[in-house]
């Protein structure tokens, strides 16, 4: 059975850079036998961090398996306004309108598709050049693999990967030492 402490530990493990305000969003999977309990955990978490500019939503679920998306609406809105992002999303013909409509389309695609939609990197704050490279070329032309496949600026990506790893290590340690999750979430 998934406890609230285990739930928060998963958020820390997979979404620390988002909590710290250095990444737009994070995505993680949670298995929960009690769906209503999971929704209570989500609601309680959102109550604690909404005022800090964070929001956690389920983006898909099948049986007892949920994909949860923690994001910073202000950062996501800005990311999705990028010209290359808009061009990539437009090519899928289901992403139109504002950030909320795009999130709705992403949720539909995640729920209805067996695989993750490739454009999800745009929602996770990955560089649009790398998302485009992955969509267009897959493994061909990939220069480096870390949190995402890098097709453009390897040095920038490696610095980002190191920053994400250090952030996760620090927040994990603080959480293990008893810091409440709402204190680990940064307002930006």
91-129: pLDDT as tens digits: 988 788 899 999 999 999 998 877 789 899 999 999 999
Tally the C-alpha atoms within 13 A of residue 10's C-alpha that lie toward its C-beta: 21
What is the reported pLDDT for 153?
A: 95
43-59: pLDDT as tens digits: 999 999 999 999 999 99
127-142: pLDDT as tens digits: 999 999 999 988 788 9
Domain ranges of the chain: 4-182
Q: What is the mean pLDDT of residues 21-31?
A: 96
Length of the chain in residues, anyone? 188
What tokens appear for 8 in the block?
């928060």
In this prediction, residue 63 has a pLDDT band, given cuts at 50, 70 and 90, of confident
What is the reported pLDDT for 160?
A: 97
Beta-carbon count within 10 A of 88 CB: 20
Tell me how far apart the alpha carbons of residues 72 and 19 are, in angstroms, rounded to a whole number: 9
SS3 content of the chain, % helix, strand, coil (to 5): 55, 15, 30
What is the reported pLDDT for 141?
A: 85
The model scores a pTM over 0.75: yes
What is the reported pLDDT for 116?
A: 81
Tell me how far apart the alpha carbons of residues 25 and 29 are, in angstroms, rounded to a whole number: 14
Q: What is the mean pLDDT of residues 2-31?
A: 96
In this prediction, residue 1 has a pLDDT band, given cuts at 50, 70 and 90, of confident
What tokens appear for 10 in the block?
């998963």
Q: What percent of the chain has pLDDT over 70?
A: 100
Q: What is the DSSP string of 54-91?
A: -EEEEEEEETTEEEEEEE-HHHHHHHHTSHHHHHHHHH
């Amino acid at each position: 059975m998934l406890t609230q402490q285990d739930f928060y530990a998963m958020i820390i493990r997979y979404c620390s850079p988002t909590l710290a305000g250095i990444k737009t969003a994070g995505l993680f999977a949670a298995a929960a036998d009690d769906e209503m309990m999971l929704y209570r955990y989500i609601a309680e978490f959102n109550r604690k961090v909404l005022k800090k500019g964070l929001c956690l939503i389920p983006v898909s679920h099948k049986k007892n398996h949920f994909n949860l998306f923690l994001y910073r609406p202000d950062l996501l809105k800005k990311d999705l306004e990028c010209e290359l992002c808009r061009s990539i999303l437009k090519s899928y013909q289901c992403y139109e309108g504002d950030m909320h409509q795009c999130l709705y389309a992403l949720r539909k695609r995640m729920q209805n598709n067996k695989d993750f939609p490739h454009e999800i990197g745009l929602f996770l704050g990955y560089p649009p050049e790398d998302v485009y490279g992955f969509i267009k070329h897959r493994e061909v032309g990939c220069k480096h693999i870390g949190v995402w496949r890098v097709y453009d600026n390897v040095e920038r990506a490696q610095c980002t990967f190191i920053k994400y790893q250090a952030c996760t290590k620090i927040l994990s340690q603080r959480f293990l030492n008893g810091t409440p999750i709402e204190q680990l979430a940064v307002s930006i």
